[in-house]
Structure 1
């Protein structure tokens, strides 16, 4: 599939989810130092590199109560929360919904499905007005091809963030097991 066709497929998925699509996020660095400071995904990038990365990201908006990601669905893209707050929940086999986290500006989410192609693990719903940058697997491939240093840095950063989350989850599991 061509890059244009792949991007259109992503746009269709985002529209089907009811998300409002803006343009690209190439001016993401202009959102101010607070976003760059709060976004672990961006902390190792220069403002110029953030601009390149933003040029590969689509801007989406969601209203309160709107799902950005739905558990069990397919998705080969991830998001960087630019503004707003998102509730992350997981449904148990018995149907009970548990809150996993509340995430704020600067948090990235959706990386696992983007990388491994598996179904979404959790549901992420806007608590208030949300803006997020969306980057798909195809856009990362484009970054690696056209801007190898930025693409490689992004993959390393995603890997580091996922490793940290796995470490945190493992520590929580150990604490729960010790209480039993």
Structure 2
């Protein structure tokens, strides 16, 4: 699948102009992962955002007992890894390919370059990340409330 069509289909990049979408496609790279491959691990320093092109990834956390606890499964055109870009902190979970997966990667450096050339578009992306995080927090709270 062409990078531009993946970026165009992601809700994260809605409201971007064709020129802004083309610039992001130019900056992004596609990474292939086989089922079971680790995309990043808990404790890694976050520096990239990923958009799922095809396949599924699973977000998991290792419990103090060593047991792996699945948190969520994501599919195209969802995205993940954005927290590492926002707070420049260590990853709080591990993401691994649940199936064979192609992921579009945008690094912090890529997004800085995008901000320099397309500041308004960058603002839209940040707002969409915040909306997504808010929705994910509401969903997590609802799941926790259901378990209580």
Partner of residue 89, structure 1: 60
Q: How does 1:51-90 map to 2 (within 5 A)?
A: 51-90=22-61
The answer to whether the Cα contact below 8 Å between 1:76 and 1:115 also exists between their aligned partners in 2 is: no
Q: How does 1:7-86 map to 2 (within 5 A)?
A: 27-30=2-5, 36=9, 39-86=10-57
Task: Go from structure 1 to structure 2 and tell me whether the alpha carbon gap of 1:30 and 1:118 turns closer, same or farther (over 3 Å shift).
Answer: closer
2-structure distance, mates of 1:167, 1:30? 29
Partner of residue 141, structure 1: 112
Task: Go from structure 1 to structure 2 and tell me whether the alpha carbon gap of 1:103 and 1:95 turns closer, same or farther (over 3 Å shift).
Answer: same
Question: What RMSD in Å do the two structures reach over aligned CA positions?
Answer: 2.1
The answer to whether the Cα contact below 8 Å between 2:20 and 2:118 also exists between their aligned partners in 1 is: no
In the superposition, the TM-score normalised over structure 1's length comes to: 0.73
The answer to whether the Cα contact below 8 Å between 1:62 and 1:131 also exists between their aligned partners in 2 is: yes
The count of residues paired between Structure 1 and Structure 2 equals: 148
> Secondary structure at 1:41's aligned position in 2?
helix
Task: Go from structure 1 to structure 2 and tell me whether the alpha carbon gap of 1:114 and 1:164 turns closer, same or farther (over 3 Å shift).
Answer: same
Q: Does residue 161 in structure 1 map to residue 132 in structure 2?
A: yes
Q: Bigger radius of gyration, 1 or 2?
A: 1
**How far has the Cα of 1:46 moved from its partner?**
4.3
**How far has the Cα of 1:74 moved from its partner?**
1.2
Partner of residue 116, structure 1: 87
Task: Go from structure 1 to structure 2 and tell me whether the alpha carbon gap of 1:171 and 1:77 turns closer, same or farther (over 3 Å shift).
Answer: same
- Structure 2 residues without counterparts, runs of 5 or longer: none
2-structure distance, mates of 1:140, 1:116? 14
- Structure 1 residues without counterparts, runs of 5 or longer: 1-24
> Secondary structure at 1:65's aligned position in 2?
coil
Task: Go from structure 1 to structure 2 and tell me whether the alpha carbon gap of 1:31 and 1:161 turns closer, same or farther (over 3 Å shift).
Answer: closer
**How far has the Cα of 1:96 moved from its partner?**
1.4
Task: Go from structure 1 to structure 2 and tell me whether the alpha carbon gap of 1:93 and 1:115 turns closer, same or farther (over 3 Å shift).
Answer: same
The answer to whether the Cα contact below 8 Å between 1:29 and 1:47 also exists between their aligned partners in 2 is: no
2-structure distance, mates of 1:150, 1:88? 28
Q: Does residue 171 in structure 1 map to residue 142 in structure 2?
A: yes
Partner of residue 96, structure 2: 125
